[in-house]
Structure 1
Amino acid sequence: MGFFDRNRKDLEKKGYSPDRLPPGQYFTERFPVLQAGGVPLYKTLDSWDLRVFGLVERELVFDYKQLDEMATDEFVVDIHCVTKWSKFDTAWRGVNFSRILEMAAPAKDAQAVMFHGEFGYTANIPLKDLTTDEAMVALYYEGLPLEPEHGYPARFVFPRLYFWKSTKWLRGIEFIEEDRPGFWERNGYHMYGDPWQQQRYSDD
């Protein structure tokens, strides 16, 4: 029996249904840390902001205090990394993306959203996928402010897709007319990234 089969057997012993694990994934109780570059460390958030712009009726700029006051939404979700690990029942608190959509009012010709993180990181998601309660600008994980390596002060969380789409160190939300590749998509990853379809790479 190989590693992945043993891992799925262990899930049953832990009381989890193996059906929660997408194909090609293994379960872990850890929260591995992966990123393309370094980890930004903020001595102060006085100059930090999150900008919402592009094809919207109202461009928005939030400072951390404003977002924190809005951060009343919660969800518990399973997350799946393209490097094949999955973690169950992760608890997040922040601002549901549906509230940002309502405030910004995307234009009719907006078809996708590009999420901008620090160091030029970007990730693209079709706008039609984001009209769900399982999309959030998160400020808290497991009841505590995000740790720096997991995206402090804010990260986007969208568990429906592989977790590279959940941009850490979020600084911008751009509404765009046509879906276009972000950082990893330009470097060989799938444009969409559905873990249940194993859409890891551009030719999957």
Structure 2
Amino acid sequence: MESKRGWLKQSFGKRLNAIHSWNAWILLLLTATGIVLSIGAIRGDLGSFRVTLKQLHIYLGIASILLLILYAPMIRKHWRQIRTRPNQRANLVFVLALLLGWAGSGVILWQFRHMPPAWNNSALFVHDLLTWVGVPYAVYHAISRSRWLKRQQRLEQAAAAGKPPVTRSAVPAPAAAASVAAAEKAPVAANDATSRTAAQAVIAALKESPITRASFLRLVAGLLLVIAVGPAFYRWIKGALDNGGSATDEYVANDGNRMLPPPEPLPDSAAVVGGGAKGNFRVYTVTEIPAFSSDNWKFAISGLVDNPNAWNWEQFLKLKRTVQVSDFHCVTGWSVYKCTWEGIPLKEMLAAAGVQSSAKFVKFYSGDKVYTDALSLSQANGDDIMVAVMMDGKPIPQQLGGPVRLIVPQMYAYKSVKWLQGIELIDKEHMGYWEVRGYDNDAWVGRSNA
């Protein structure tokens, strides 16, 4: 209660400055944590710290919303104070729009388990877009409002104001009377002084630069930010909005796998092209992306089964495949809709292996030799769980988990093991790579605690 009274006793200006400072620090920390979380290449290096960092990012976001609530009663008075400053009003509107957009989309991403996937996808796009726009703007704002630049501006204003003021109050009354009398007696001298003042004004105007030093430095800072951020922003916005499948084509063109012969798509697989071809996948990995060759690639099923088996690439391609169309949901909020997958239904592969009665779980091994995950036997017998070989009529490229990956459509994608090469039937529960780092073992879409 005392702290509340102390806050209210402070002057309006002090409270406004305090909120501005707190918001700047929170924005800086949000930017730093958000950038680290968004770098897919270091997800594995972060390990369990990534979960802690994600929680910190959420708490900082909540603090930012609380600051907005604290500022809300002050908006009206602040708006009146800057009524003669259109630039400051425009800045205020822009910053509030950024903060509200960040807050709204952030809340949806925070509560993604209770939101439709389409909402999460849209919220992630908005959150990323505002970050691309807002962070450079905040950097520019910090530079343009820095104390050093303000000092430069004050020096320029002082230099410009250095001309002798022509005001009545600057001259004492007796002196003013004397000067009037002198002017009456010497009209020629008065005309000469007027001419001199007019001439000086012309020269002073010629000396004035069309752009001040402070304005020039702001312009340079803005241009440098555009040059630094512009190309990366263009690539991001192109990838986010481009529905031509160019990103997937790039994955295929730069595929490091050398799997011969390539799989021949079934008619339904080649004819039905879904969301995967639109290039809307984001590439995340906890290890270096491995490359495979058909010369040494193997796939095995073992453990508590009657018929353990191992296949080379040519043998694996002879297994009976089916086609399904399903959505793909990532736990970070994005989704790819209506992907056309072709592969072997997992329940058929398990049935052929002859699962023993003591088996309770199915463990999956990635070819990166690091990543593992597991499903209960009842989960693994779902109709739409597939050991996929093709996506949208093409071999699954290396960066998207090919040549073979697991697809578990009704669970978040950390269960859909990439570069799948081994399946083992076990009798005890296995905690996968992300599960031991804080993610939910039952990763059902809409019900996960990850």
TM-score by length of 1: 0.84
Match of 1:25 in 2: 120
Contact 1:94/1:136 (8 A) holds in 2: yes
The superposition leaves residues 139-183 of structure 1 with CA deviations (integer Å, 9 ceiling, x where unpaired) of 101100011011111001111111010111111101110212011
Q: CA deviation at 1:132?
A: 2.2
Matches within 5 A, 1:1-204: 2-3=104-105, 21-22=116-117, 25-26=120-121, 30-42=280-292, 44-118=293-367, 119-200=369-450
> The residue matched to 2:387 in structure 1 has which SS?
strand
- Stretch moving more, 67-76 or 94-103: 67-76
Contact 2:346/2:386 (8 A) holds in 1: yes
Q: CA deviation at 1:21?
A: 3.1
Q: Structure 1 regions of 5+ residues with no counterpart?
A: 7-19
Q: CA deviation at 1:71?
A: 4.9
Contact 2:117/2:333 (8 A) holds in 1: no
Equivalent position amino acid for 1:108 in 2: S
CA distance in 1, matches of 2:282, 2:428: 32
Q: CA deviation at 1:22?
A: 4.0
Q: CA deviation at 1:86?
A: 1.3
Equivalent position amino acid for 1:82 in 2: V
CA distance in 2, matches of 1:4, 1:75: 33
Structure having the larger proportion of residues in helix: 2
Structure 1 segments, 4+ long, off by >6 Å, are: none
Match of 1:14 in 2: none
Equivalent position amino acid for 2:120 in 1: Q
Contact 1:67/1:95 (8 A) holds in 2: no
Task: Compare relative contact order (CA 8 Å, sep 6+) and give the higher one, 1 or 2.
Answer: 1
> The residue matched to 1:183 in structure 2 has which SS?
coil
Contact 2:442/2:448 (8 A) holds in 1: no
Q: CA deviation at 1:38?
A: 1.1
Q: CA deviation at 1:24?
A: 7.1
TM-score by length of 2: 0.39
Equivalent position amino acid for 2:310 in 1: V
Match of 2:25 in 1: none
Q: Structure 2 regions of 5+ residues with no counterpart?
A: 1-100, 109-114, 123-239, 241-277
Contact 1:124/1:165 (8 A) holds in 2: yes
CA RMSD of aligned residues (A): 2.4
> The residue matched to 1:196 in structure 2 has which SS?
coil
Contact 1:115/1:122 (8 A) holds in 2: yes
> The residue matched to 1:178 in structure 2 has which SS?
coil
Equivalent position amino acid for 1:3 in 2: S
Distance 1:71 1:85, change over 3 A: farther
Q: CA deviation at 1:196?
A: 1.4
Q: CA deviation at 1:199?
A: 2.7
Q: Aligned pair count?
A: 188
> The residue matched to 2:414 in structure 1 has which SS?
helix
Taking only the aligned residue pairs, the percentage that are identical comes to 29
Larger-Rg structure: 2
CA distance in 1, matches of 2:335, 2:323: 20
CA distance in 2, matches of 1:49, 1:120: 17
Contact 1:4/1:26 (8 A) holds in 2: no
CA distance in 1, matches of 2:346, 2:404: 13
Contact 2:117/2:334 (8 A) holds in 1: no
